[in-house]
Structure 1
Amino acid sequence: MENTIDDLKKPAHLAPPSGGRGGESIHVFAPATVANVVCGFDVLGFAVDEPGDEVIMRVTGKPGITISKITGDDGRLPLDPAKNTVSVSVQHYLQSVGRSDIGLDIELHKKMPIGSGLGSSSASTVAGLFAIKTLLGDDSDPIKLLPFAMKGEEMACGHGHADNVAPALFGGFVLIRSYEPLDVVRLPHPKNLWCAIVFPDVDVPTREARQIIRKNIQMKDAVTQWGNIAGLVSGLFMQDIDLIGRSMKDVLVEPVRSMLIPDFYKMREMAMELGAVSFGISGSGPSVFAFTRDEATARSITQKLQQHLTGLKIGSNSYVSTINDAGPKVLG
């Protein structure tokens, strides 16, 4: 799975430039994701069943991209196609396949919180890219969309990381082995692994959450982190949930980012007492997540953590899901 934008050539089977009749449309869903997975900063992530974002894309008679509607964002996202991650990524893709002549109108429906640490911008971008790829009849490997999705991440948070967009695009559990060259590996996982997610209603902007991370680390901390990443990947391959759980410890990023999340360590203590396999921050936060062995435990954890946050006068949303192996899907 090695690709860069320069590697992407125009597939011979795409519709010719004169194709694309006005009125053709597609409705696509792309899932939320949990990035980092505690110990794998910028290199590990997985997709969940809910929440997610939806894009409706229509072919128009006039070349260029417009965004006619955005819902669920409280007016926070730009309608300007030059400033929106969905349209910018789609435009990069169209240029790469020689289809800048096509006209598109985009509706973006945010079905997940912005700034949640659940890959909100990634879900939107992947939905848009999957929509245009499908509209053009491009049946090439979806890996070719990844560099364009990373362009959207670069616009959203200043850094083109792939630990959200890759699982949103491919589904499942994903390892980014290398960024230069881009090399992505889908990992196996236990089918009975459940994820409990709680999103506290506090603001933790991704750019700021990245800026507080230490730039220099001690060798002993690096060794600890390498061992945990290797243990987590081994646990996934071996279907060993106990090994997965004891490997999900972060000595580099979590100690700093946890300060931005109210009662993080108290919530972790509660989750582990309720039967969680592991607990940590989803992406840059403020969402937190726990792995469990069954749905009932996951639902118990979300309920108790939400009650705790309510006691702190903090609202929250919660989601319970297995790992989503499907990735984006066409709704209509």
Structure 2
Amino acid sequence: DAVILYLARAPVVTFYTPERLDLLLACSALFAVTFLRPRRAALLASLLLLFVLAVRGIPAAGAGGGLLRLYFLSVGQGDAALVGLPDGKWMLVDGGGRASETKARVGSRLLLPALRRLGVRRIDYLVLSHEHPDHLQGILYLAGNFEVGEFWESGIHSNSREYRQLKWVLAARGIPVRVLCAALPPFAAGGALLEPLWPATSQRPASGDANDSSLVFRLRHGKGSVLFAGDLTADAERQLLARGVGLESSLLKVAHHGSRHSSTDPFLEAVSPRVAVISAGYQNPFHLPALSTVARLEKRGIRVYRTDLDGSVQAVCGAEGGWRVSTPWGHFN
């Protein structure tokens, strides 16, 4: 028992999640050293197996690898985008959820298993675009049950029960809160450059629609960039365009799950993405994405990926700017 208690104090490795092959290699090494004869052969065999195991762990230890990795998670009718930053840090933009889900189980049943499967043990930057449950519920769960470095938001407060609970959890756990809006200059985050674009200030929009106050930002890595558009509506898109800021991005997280009230032609013209990703639930009751929105995207030659049809979408970008998009993970819902 004393030995077990002593070993339990050892630091936990968080950058490496063993796969089945790794467990097989470890068990084989134990078998070799225990049962093989002569002893020299047993030692050589076990050392060889342990060397292979160590080599397999090297890529995980150097997580990031100078690449920007995006995982648009299939978590039902909501938004949840995991970002692997070039220096190995992790960012999560929104966490999915459902307004009709009173127990807010998206975090424990969908989001947490997805993070574990992807080998994520800490979220360095937990980002909430706005207060609606289909973005907030998973964020609330992680804030209370996961290792989090910082929390970022627009600073536009809400009186909703879940938002107030989130702020209480953040304060109770001592998680720093950072407010982002268009008044802030671009800043470095995890080896990438983050440009806050919207809202213009941390004041509630005149429309009263929380979608119009969505946190919108562009993340740049070398020649590649991704624009996270939250649930921005057409009216807010017009106001953003009127500010005259550059929006051009090679990948677009389509606003508001592909609603017909977003992603207007002038906005798409300004962004000019080569790839677009729509987060939506399979056969959702809102009939999203709208056929008209998909048509506007495809008319411009934009490659469109949808979590309702493709499952979780992975996009990887090096400093040269090209996106490699695939769908190897399937659905987490």
Normalised to the residue count of structure 1, the TM-score between the two structures is 0.30
Ranked by relative contact order (alpha carbons within 8 Å, sequence separation 6 or more), the top structure is 1
Identify the structure with the greater strand proportion: 1
Normalised to the residue count of structure 2, the TM-score between the two structures is 0.30
